[in-house]
Structures are given as structure tokens and as C-alpha cells.
């Protein structure tokens, strides 16, 4: 779910032409960053399409990042011609204002839908921070001036990077969960200097983005990772508390409700099913050269061969006992779940601070939406679930939205309407409430994996090749 080359310093002129003058960038409303609540005011058109309620549409490079809005600007990242791009467009008419390019290291080759421009930009009004797996972090002023850059190693994972940066107080947070050497990084948002780095040795292959909590004056970063939801103190990166009981691979990110509770939900295939054979049986069957490790062509058929790339943590093509047993434990301990946590306490607070759990209708990729005391979940296949956020009781569960296929974009809401896109590009609009009432299904005829943004009665949607602004003309 990237920096762009600079076109020209047109932001000041277009700001005056297309929006009310403002004293400075810090006064601009920040409608949506990568991990905002997903809820906005002002509404959006419930019916839209390639030629319906289109305020403007512009071509954009390939990428999976979601649009981020700041005052009169909309930011994206992209990847084209082996360049990592950061783009700024006018919210008034979609006109490109500037683009910047960052040098790409070795490009990740992962999942079918993977793209180096997957991380969504973060903004605090004074800067726009972007992340690319093949490069690292960089910060730009709203007018396109580069402020700093921090190159980082490409994450060691089969699917490529999936997390996004988050600005929390004076820090930029980046969660780098990978097959070996996972860590949570905090850098100074003004300089890009590393402030602290906390190792996460038990976390493997995660794609979740941290939640800064509470939103107004954050004190901790809540990170969903392998088997565990963990809170880290922002002042020093030390663990504050953790909750066990998550899947072995987390893609969905945690969210917070207005009541201060934190919610997480995740699903992986085969979770909770003990299916991994013993290391001794694998070696006895497959270790042809008797060296005590398994090459890929030595791995016996079944889970060891099917999941070899995941099991081989350091990706050297050789599977050791330690690598296998660590991954096998994660597979066997994995639990698909949605849960509510009351933040606080110290150490393991699973028994004392988990308010409720729910086992069905769980998302693989879409982050839950908390809205007006309800938690909305979307599962692959266009299956919608709505839970009471205080009790976990299902108002409705796994009901069909009428848009089949996988779901990568997260649901968003405004003025009593929820909108979620299928990967096939069908935007389903349904009423927020205790029963499922679909209002419209809108086909954009192109893939959508990015989460939309909402502001001032407009819905901003990124497809595979186009950025749309839908609204009343």
C-alpha cells in the first residue's frame, strides 16, 4: 500500500489560486494521513464512476500508497522508470505541482501486487515523510524542498515492505518487521537523525503500521506483529505492555476508538492448526548430503517445501533447525482474532486488559474502521462484519457486500456512510449502523488497493493508473 521528481515551485501560486490564503503550512487542515481514523466529516458522493460525479481525474504512476491530504495539496508516491517518486497535486483540479525522485536500490520482487511505492506518506503540516523499501525514509516540505533523507536496508521479506511511516510528536516511527532482524525505528522528524531503535526478535514477516496513542498527545506506539500486540514508550522505545494471541503474520494495523481503547484484527491461512512435522522427521526424509540442514530441493513435500521461503529466515537457501523451529512455533501458535484492549499496565497484560475477542469475519489486509461505537471489518470476498466496540457482540457478521474478490483497501466513513473498495475496483457504499444496507456499488473498471481519503465532500481514490476526485461538480 514515494518521492517524485520536482516539476516546479508552483505550490504558493496555486494555493492562492485554488484555496483560501493561509498564514503557513502548519495552519492547513490535515485531513488524512496513512493511519488516521478513517472517519471524516463533509460526506462524499455515494454514486461515482469513471464518468459519474468526477470533479477531476489525472494519470499517476504505478503504486499502492494511499492519497494523503494537506490543505490544498494531495500527496502520493509512485514507481516508474526505476525511479521512486513523490508527487504533489492540487486538490482543486488535480494539477501536478511537483514531483521528486529518490534513487532506488535493489527493487523488491515479492507478491503479485507488490510495488516499491506501497507506503503512504505521513504529514504533520510542516513536512511530508515518505518511505520506500529500496531506499529508506525522506522528508519534504509542502513546497517540495527536500529536508532530509535516511537510507535504510531493504527489508528481508518475501513480499516486500508493507508498512508506512507515522509522525508522533517529534518522532517519525517506522516498523520494520522482516524475516530476520525486525525492529521499530524512531527518528527526529526535523533532522532524520535516529533517536532510538528497538529490536523485535520475535516478530516475523509483518506489514502492520504503528498506532500512535493517544492521538492528541501520544505517549506510546502500539504495533501489531507476529502473535503479539506490543506498546512501546515513545520517549525511549522500551516496551510498556503486550498482549498475546494474534496471527503469525499481521497485515492489518491497530486503530483506536474515541473511548481510548485499542482494536486489532488479523487473519492468516491455516492459523491455529498444528500442521508442522518435526525437524527430525524432515531431516531423516530429506537431508540427502547429511549436513544437518535442508536445501530447498531437499525439503520433503508438504509444509516444509510449500513454506520454504518463509521458513528460511535469512534467505540463504538453507534451512536450519533454529529457523525451522522458530517459524513452526509461530505457525502453530497463530490465532485469527479481533480484539479490544484497554491500554495500560506493564508486561504481559493479556489476562487483565483484553476486554473482548471475536473469532469470525476477520480481515487479512484491511484495517478495521472504528466509527460511532462500532467496529467495521471487511474480509476477502467482500464479507462485511459490524461489531459493538464495547462488547464485541456482532450486529451482523460476514454479510455479502456484492463485490467479490480480495480486499486490500481499508473501509472509510463520513456522515453515516461507509465506503470500501474491492481489489477489482468496485466501491461499495453502505450505511453505518447495526444492519447492513448497501446504498450503491460503483465500478471503476480498474484495480484498487489503496485506501481512499475523504475531505470537504470529496472522495479521493487511487486506481492502478488514475487519481480521482469524486464530488458534486
Query: H helices then E strands: how many in the chain?
Result: 6, 36
Q: Which tops the pLDDT comparison, 87 or 274?
A: 87
pLDDT, one tens digit per residue, over 437-472 is 999 999 999 999 999 999 999 999 999 999 999 998
Q: Given this model, what pLDDT does residue 331 score?
A: 80
Enter the C-alpha cell of residue 97. 505541482
| Structure confidence at residue 36 as a pLDDT band (50, 70, 90) | low
Q: Which residue has the cell 522528508?
A: 139
CA distances from 141 to 70, 179, 453, 467 (A): 11, 34, 21, 22
179 pLDDT exceeds 90?
no
Q: Given this model, what pLDDT does residue 127 score?
A: 97
Q: Which residue has the cell 527430525?
A: 280
Enter the C-alpha cell of residue 53. 460525479
Q: Given this model, what pLDDT does residue 207 score?
A: 92
The residues spanned by each domain of the chain are 11-271+334-470, 279-333
pLDDT, one tens digit per residue, over 130-157 is 999 999 999 999 999 999 999 999 988 8
424 pLDDT exceeds 70?
yes
Q: Which tops the pLDDT comparison, 10 or 232?
A: 232
Neighbours of 75 (CB within 10 A): 26
Q: Given this model, what pLDDT does residue 157 score?
A: 80
CATH 2.30.30 fits 279-333, yes or no: no
Q: Rounded distance, CA 97 to CA 309, Å?
A: 42
Displacement of CA 136 from its chain's centroid (Å): 16
Contact 118, 45 (CB under 8 A): no
| Structure confidence at residue 273 as a pLDDT band (50, 70, 90) | low
Q: Given this model, what pLDDT does residue 308 score?
A: 84
CA distances from 336 to 84, 227, 252, 267, 339 (A): 35, 10, 12, 5, 10
Helix pair 321-333, 279-286: axis angle to 10 deg = 130
Q: Given this model, what pLDDT does residue 112 score?
A: 67
Mean pLDDT across the chain? 89
For the segment 168-178, the average pLDDT, to the nearest whole number, is 96
Residue 131: CA count within 13 A, CB half-sphere: 30
Q: Rounded distance, CA 42 to CA 216, Å?
A: 22
Q: Given this model, what pLDDT does residue 270 score?
A: 66
For the segment 398-413, the average pLDDT, to the nearest whole number, is 97
Enter the C-alpha cell of residue 222. 502500539
- Long-range CB pairs of 423-426 (<8 Å, 24+ gap) are 423/113, 423/447, 423/448, 423/449, 424/448, 425/463
Q: Rounded distance, CA 239 to CA 191, Å?
A: 25
3 pLDDT exceeds 50?
no
| Structure confidence at residue 43 as a pLDDT band (50, 70, 90) | very high
Same topology between domain 11-271+334-470 and domain 279-333: no
Least confident of 267-281, 351-365, 441-455: 267-281
DSSP notation for 40-98: ESS---SS-BTTBSEEEEEE--B--PPPEEETTEEEEEEEETTEEEEEEEETTT--EEE
Least confident of 17-21, 61-65, 85-89, 343-347: 17-21
pLDDT, one tens digit per residue, over 204-258 is 888 999 999 999 999 999 999 999 999 999 999 999 999 999 999 999 999 999 9
pLDDT, one tens digit per residue, over 285-335 is 989 999 999 999 999 888 888 878 878 878 888 999 988 887 777 788 889
Fold assignment, 11-271+334-470: Methylamine Dehydrogenase; Chain H (2.130.10)
Contact 283, 353 (CB under 8 A): no
Q: Which residue has the cell 520454504?
A: 308
Q: Given this model, what pLDDT does residue 159 score?
A: 77
pLDDT, one tens digit per residue, over 45-68 is 999 999 999 999 999 999 999 999
Q: Given this model, what pLDDT does residue 275 score?
A: 66
* Percentage of the residues of the chain whose pLDDT score is greater than 70: 90
Q: Given this model, what pLDDT does residue 191 score?
A: 98
What phi and psi, each to the nearest 5 degrees, are found at residue 98? -160, 160
Q: Rounded distance, CA 408 to CA 198, Å?
A: 29
* Percentage of the residues of the chain whose pLDDT score is greater than 90: 73
| Structure confidence at residue 114 as a pLDDT band (50, 70, 90) | confident
For the segment 427-444, the average pLDDT, to the nearest whole number, is 98
Q: Which tops the pLDDT comparison, 122 or 298?
A: 122
Amino acid at each position: 500500500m514515494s518521492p517524485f521528481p520536482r516539476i516546479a515551485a508552483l505550490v504558493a501560486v496555486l494555493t492562492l489560486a485554488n484555496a483560501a490564503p493561509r498564514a503557513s503550512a502548519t495552519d492547513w487542515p490535515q485531513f488524512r494521513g496513512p493511519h488516521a481514523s478513517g472517519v471524516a466529516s463533509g460526506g462524499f458522493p455515494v454514486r461515482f464512476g469513471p464518468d459519474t460525479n468526477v470533479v477531476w481525474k489525472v494519470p499517476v504512476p504505478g503504486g499502492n500508497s494511499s492519497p494523503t491530504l494537506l490543505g490544498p495539496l494531495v500527496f502520493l508516491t509512485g514507481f516508474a522508470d526505476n525511479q521512486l517518486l513523490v508527487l504533489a497535486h492540487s486538490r482543486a483540479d488535480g494539477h501536478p505541482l511537483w514531483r521528486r525522485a529518490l534513487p532506488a536500490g535493489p527493487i523488491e520482487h515479492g507478491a503479485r501486487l507488490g510495488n516499491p511505492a506501497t507506503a503512504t506518506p505521513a504529514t504533520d503540516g510542516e513536512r511530508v515523510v515518505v518511505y520506500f523499501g529500496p531506499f529508506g525514509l525522506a522528508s519534504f516540505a509542502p513546497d517540495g524542498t527536500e529536508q532530509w533523507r535516511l537510507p535504510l536496508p531493504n527489508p528481508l521479506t518475501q513480499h516486500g515492505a508493507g508498512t508506512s511511516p507515522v509522525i508522533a510528536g517529534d518522532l517519525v516511527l517506522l516498523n520494520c518487521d522482516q524475516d530476520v532482524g525486525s525492529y521499530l525505528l524512531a527518528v527526529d522528524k526535523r533532522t532524520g537523525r535516529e533517536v532510538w531503535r528497538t529490536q523485535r526478535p520475535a516478530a516475523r514477516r509483518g506489514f502492520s503500521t504503528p498506532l500512535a496513542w493517544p492521538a492528541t498527545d501520544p505517549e506510546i506506539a502500539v504495533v501489531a506483529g507476529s502473535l503479539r500486540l506490543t506498546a512501546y514508550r515513545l520517549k525511549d522505545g522500551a516496551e510498556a505492555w503486550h498482549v498475546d494471541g494474534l496471527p503469525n503474520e499481521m497485515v492489518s494495523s491497530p486503530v483506536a476508538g474515541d473511548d481510548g481503547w485499542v482494536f486489532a484484527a488479523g487473519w492468516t491461512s491455516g492459523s491455529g492448526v498444528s500442521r508442522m512435522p518435526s525437524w527430525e522427521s524432515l531431516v531423516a526424509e530429506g537431508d540427502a548430503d547429511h549436513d544437518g540442514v535442508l536445501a530447498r530441493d531437499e525439503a520433503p513435500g508438504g509444509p516444509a517445501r510449500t513454506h520454504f521461503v518463509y521458513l528460511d529466515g535469512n534467505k540463504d537457501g538453507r534451512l536450519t533447525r533454529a529457523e525451522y523451529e522458530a517459524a513452526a512455533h509461530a505457525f502453530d501458535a497463530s490465532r485469527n482474532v479481533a480484539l479490544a484492549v484497554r491500554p495500560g499496565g506493564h508486561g504481559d497484560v493479556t489476562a487483565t486488559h483484553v476486554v473482548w475477542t471475536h473469532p469470525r469475519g476477520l480481515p487479512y489486509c484491511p484495517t478495521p474502521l472504528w466509527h460511532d461505537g462500532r467496529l467495521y471489518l471487511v474480509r476477502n470476498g467482500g464479507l462485511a462484519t459490524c461489531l459493538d466496540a464495547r462488547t464485541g457482540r456482532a450486529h451482523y457478521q460476514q454479510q455479502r457486500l456484492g463485490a467479490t474478490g480480495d480486499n486490500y483497501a481499508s473501509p472509510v466513513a463520513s456522515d453515516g456512510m461507509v465506503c470500501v473498495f474491492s481489489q477489482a475496483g468496485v466501491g461499495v457504499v453502505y450505511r453505518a449502523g447495526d444492519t447492513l444496507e448497501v446504498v450503491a456499488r460503483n465500478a471503476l473498471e480498474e484495480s484498487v488497493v489503496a485506501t481512499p481519503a475523504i475531505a470537504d465532500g470529496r472522495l479521493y481514490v487511487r486506481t492502478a493508473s488514475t487519481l480521482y476526485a469524486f464530488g458534486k461538480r
